[in-house]
Amino acid sequence: MESRLEQLLNKFEALVNRFENAQGGQSDSTAPQTSAPAGNASSGTKLTKEFDAEINPKIKLLEEASAKLGGELIKTITDKYISTVLQQRDILVTMSQAAKPANLQFLIKPVSNAKNDIKALKNKDPKLGNHVQTVADGFDLFAWFAQTDVKEFLDENLKNIDFYGFKVLQLKQENDSAWQKAYKELAKTFCDFVSTNADTILNWTGNDANAEDVFNAQLGKSEAIFRGKGQVEEVKNQAVNLLADIQGGKTMNQNLVHVERNAHKKGADGPLQPIPKKEIAPKTAAAKVEVKKDPKTEFTMNTYYIVRSIHQNHKQQNYGKETLKYEGEQVESNYGFALIKCKDTTLLVDGKCKNIMLENCQNVRVIVDSCLSIAEVINCQKATITIKNQQLDCLQFLSRIPQFSVERSQGVQIYLFEPAKNCKVHTTCSQSVVLHYPKINGTEDDEWFDIGIAETFVTAIKDDRLITQALESVE
């Protein structure tokens, strides 16, 4: 016992040494730089303290969610994003010590490099492509310091996280959803902090004329401070827990069990009796029970999720012949619609929405006034999407309809009224995709063109290059 106690005390002493080293590292990290002018030091100190109080807890939650989700790729993109968030604290310190420079490119370059590093990882693991892309979209927030209307800029770019973030949530995996929510919460907390303090932050209250030198000297110190504080807290908790174990004797006695003397000799008289075998009644097949659930519509992260399913023997099957209409206050230009595993469903959207997504659907029809971002059809059988005509004040938006994306689908009909004909249609591994659109300067009585997108391609080698041409479809 004395030997065990000695080991515990040695371990405790080692923890104390680690604790002192961590404190020393933090002190070094937080020591003021004598070479940099103070500027409005009180303002800078107040902002960085508020930044730490609001942002650091969200960072810890994201790190915990990343650890639970696991995987080297998730850890890499999470750490890169957290590092860039902490760089914003370095920018706050720079703004409090330096005068505003004419060119802010030196602040944008680290963010741009980090975003490119993340985007380069998108194809590393196809299962995590949406995780990577939603993080890459989040880097656009970090150009806030170059905007005239910071709040509007942050609000708009924060919404962009939701597009691929929604796809992560649709995996319906607990750890993936927790990671996405923690990531979004960190981004939102950062946006709220900057928007609230924008009037103070953007003043550049320092005196140093060379802001780039100040920033380069400060770059990375905020992350070092954050990591140092985490190490101190970890060692402190280990020391407290170990001391409590020593004082309570748990560490030495927790595995000991009281055994009565000569207990092994008791009950040894007489021959051992065989244990009778228990008869197990045969299992009877349970009757199949079909439980039909009501159509499920959820509104989360500015997106309506419309799901149709019944549960029979733990298997999901499609059902539902529904007509759903959204209008008035239900429709906003930043709202999206996602139909999942729907069958024989009609969706009517009276107004402008951000995006439409159909996944694993059959015989679905969508009619929408205006789609400002993208319409996606993924792994669907027989789907019809109509972009209706709009009034003149909406034409500027309709001309911006970026694209349709059709993947692994069959029998997709796309109807485009005149203002929507500028969009592009991307098809991947799909068949029978047909575009319907009116003639130029045609009247309401004129017939529309009905033209299928090419499915057959001819490829030849010319001058050591592959030349591919699509065989035109006919009306």
105 in a domain, yes or no?
yes
The CATH number for 100's domain is 1.25.40.330
The CATH number for 379's domain is 2.160.20.70
**What is the Cα–Cα distance from 381 to 74, expressed in whole angstroms?**
33
405 in a domain, yes or no?
yes
**What is the Cα–Cα distance from 405 to 453, expressed in whole angstroms?**
13
pLDDT at residue 294, rounded to an integer: 46
179 in a domain, yes or no?
yes
The answer for residues whose C-beta is within 8 angstroms of residue 99's C-beta and 6 or more apart is 204, 206, 207, 208, 209, 211
Q: Are residues 305 and 180 in the same domain?
A: no
pLDDT at residue 126, rounded to an integer: 87
pLDDT, tens only, 343-360: 899 999 998 888 999 999
Buried b (16+ CB within 10 A) or exposed e, 192-219: ebbbebbebbbebbbebeebbebbebbb
Could you say which of 219, 240, 268 is where a domain stops?
219
Degrees (nearest 5) of the Cα angle 7, 12, 14? 95
Residue 382 has pLDDT above 90, yes or no: yes
280 in a domain, yes or no?
no
439 in a domain, yes or no?
yes
Q: What is the mean pLDDT of residues 197-226?
A: 84
232 in a domain, yes or no?
no
Could you say which of 188, 219, 250 is where a domain stops?
219
Number of separate helices (H) and strands (E) present in the chain: 11, 17
pLDDT, tens only, 233-286: 555 566 566 666 666 655 555 555 555 665 555 555 555 555 565 666 665 555
pLDDT at residue 128, rounded to an integer: 94
Q: Are residues 193 and 303 in the same domain?
A: no
pLDDT, tens only, 12-62: 666 656 555 544 444 443 444 434 444 455 556 788 899 999 999 999 999
Q: Are residues 315 and 459 in the same domain?
A: yes
Residue 232 has pLDDT above 90, yes or no: no
CA-CA distances (angstroms) from residue 293 to 297, 318, 320, 322?
Answer: 12, 11, 10, 14
Q: Are residues 450 and 312 in the same domain?
A: yes
pLDDT at residue 24, rounded to an integer: 46
pLDDT at residue 31, rounded to an integer: 40
248 in a domain, yes or no?
no
Q: What is the mean pLDDT of residues 4-15?
A: 60
**What is the Cα–Cα distance from 368 to 384, expressed in whole angstroms?**
11
| pLDDT above 70: percentage of residues in the chain | 69
pLDDT at residue 371, rounded to an integer: 85
pLDDT, tens only, 283-313: 555 555 444 444 567 888 888 888 875 444 4
pLDDT at residue 380, rounded to an integer: 95
Q: How confident is the model at residue 224 (pLDDT cuts 50, 70, 90)?
A: confident
pLDDT at residue 394, rounded to an integer: 35
Q: Are residues 318 and 185 in the same domain?
A: no
Residue 424 has pLDDT above 90, yes or no: no
Q: Are residues 298 and 419 in the same domain?
A: yes
The answer for residues whose C-beta is within 8 angstroms of residue 25's C-beta and 6 or more apart is 224, 228, 231
Q: Are residues 186 and 299 in the same domain?
A: no
Q: Are residues 214 and 305 in the same domain?
A: no
Residue 110 has pLDDT above 50, yes or no: yes
Q: What is the mean pLDDT of residues 123-151?
A: 91
pLDDT at residue 442, rounded to an integer: 79
| pLDDT above 90: percentage of residues in the chain | 35
Q: What is the mean pLDDT of residues 358-365?
A: 93
Q: How many domains does the chain have?
A: 2
Could you say which of 219, 253, 274 is where a domain stops?
219
Q: Are residues 335 and 428 in the same domain?
A: yes
Residue 474 has pLDDT above 50, yes or no: no
Q: How confident is the model at residue 361 (pLDDT cuts 50, 70, 90)?
A: very high
pTM over 0.75: no
Domain housing 112: 32-219
376 in a domain, yes or no?
yes
Q: Are residues 430 and 317 in the same domain?
A: yes
